[in-house]
């Protein structure tokens, strides 16, 4: 399947996952409605496309120093930080998407969102997604 078609098929599923996350009280993620979840899923995806490489460029020196140039395998931590930034930025931009506990909600929400997206979307043939570094921490090593 083409990338655009896969993205369009993933979009409502990712919105449902955001709604599910908002139902878990200790995460502190609040989603006003399904249309807000649809917009949020698009915004998180677009922010990921637009900002991932600039954020990796900005965090690159810190990554190189703390991992000794990749010798210490904590690269997943930087992927998770990027995911937290994207999740928090989306909540800041969208009226009706709120992180009740600030950074804690962003960190937990981003982690649960990436793990659920990975498992649910990979259970559907043709909608496979890559395992993010942060999700790999909790699910096992990347392929």
**pTM tops 0.75:** yes
pLDDT for the residue 30: 95
Distance CA 48, CA 102 (A): 20
Q: How many CA atoms within 13 Å lie on the side-chain side of 24?
A: 12
Number of domains in the chain: 1
Print the domain residue range for 70.
Answer: 3-139
Residue 128 has a CB neighbour count (10 Å cut-off) of: 14
Q: What is the pLDDT of residue 126?
A: 65
pLDDT digits (tens, 9 = 90+) for 42-99: 999 899 889 888 888 888 888 888 777 767 777 778 888 888 999 999 999 999 999 9
127's CB contacts (< 8 A; 6+ apart) are 6, 9, 10, 13, 121
Per this entry, what is the length of the chain?
A: 143
The torsion angles phi and psi of 32, rounded to 5 degrees, stand at -70, -40
For position 1, what pLDDT does the model report? 55
Per-residue 3-state assignment (H helix, E strand, C coil) for 18-67: HHHHHCCHHHCEEECCHHHHHHHHHHHHHHHHHHHHHHHHHHHHHHHHHC
């Amino acid at each position: 399947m083409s990338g655009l078609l896969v993205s369009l098929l993933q979009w409502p599923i990712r919105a449902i996952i955001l709604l599910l996350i908002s139902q878990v009280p200790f995460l502190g993620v609040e989603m006003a409605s399904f249309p807000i979840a649809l917009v949020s899923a698009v915004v998180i995806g677009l922010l990921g496309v637009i900002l991932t490489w600039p954020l990796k460029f900005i965090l690159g020196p810190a990554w190189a120093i703390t991992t000794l140039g990749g010798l210490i395998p904590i690269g997943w931590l930087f992927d998770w930080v990027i995911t937290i930034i994207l999740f928090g930025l989306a909540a800041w931009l969208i009226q009706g998407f709120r992180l009740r506990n600030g950074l804690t909600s962003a960190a937990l929400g981003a982690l649960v969102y990436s793990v659920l997206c990975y498992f649910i979307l990979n259970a559907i043939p043709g909608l496979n997604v890559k395992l993010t570094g942060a999700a790999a921490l909790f699910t096992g090593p990347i392929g």
